[in-house]
Amino acid sequence: MYTTQMDAAKRGIITEQMRIVAREENIGLELLRELVASGRIVIPANRHHTSLSPKGVGEKLRTKVNVNLGVSKDCYDIELELEKAKRAIDLKAEAIMDLSCYGKTRDFRRSLIEMSPIMIGTVPMYDAVGMLDKDLKDITVDEFFSVVERHAEDGVDFMTVHCAMNQKTAERIKNNTRLTNIVSRGGSILFAWMELNHQENPFYQYYDRLLDICEKYDVTISLGDACRPGSIHDSTDPAQIEELITMGELTKRAWARNVQVMIEGPGHMAINEIAANMLLEKRLCHGAPFYVLGPLVTDIAPGYDHITSAIGGAIAASNGADFLCYVTPAEHLRLPNLDDMKEGIIATRIAAHAADLAKGIPGARDWDNQMSAARADVDFPRMIELAIDPEKAKRYREESKPECDDTCTMCGKMCPMKNMKKILNGEDLSIM
For the annotated binding site for [4Fe-4S] cluster, the residues are 408, 411, 415
Q: Is 253 exposed, middle or buried (0-12, 13-18, 19+ CB in 10 A)?
A: middle
Could you give the CA distance from residue 207 to residue 41 in angstroms, rounded to a whole number?
A: 22
Q: Summarize the annotated binding site for substrate as residue ranges.
A: 68, 97, 126, 162, 184-186, 225-228, 264, 291
Could you give the CA distance from residue 192 to residue 189 in angstroms, rounded to a whole number?
A: 5
Please calculate the CA angle 80-85-87 and round it to the nearest 5 degrees: 95
Closest to 341 (Cα-Cα) out of 64, 100, 81? 81
Closest to 184 (Cα-Cα) out of 200, 205, 202, 169? 169
Phi, psi of 49 (to 5 degrees): -90, 85
Please report, as a single letter, which amino acid is at residue 209.
R
Q: Summarize the annotated binding site for Zn(2+) as residue ranges.
A: 268, 332
> CB atoms < 10 A from the CB of 61, how many?
26
Could you give the CA distance from residue 296 to residue 268 in angstroms, rounded to a whole number?
A: 5
Q: Alpha-carbon Rg of the chain, whole angstroms?
A: 23
Q: Summarize the annotated binding site as residue ranges.
A: 68, 97, 126, 162, 184-186, 225-228, 264, 268, 291, 332, 408, 411, 415
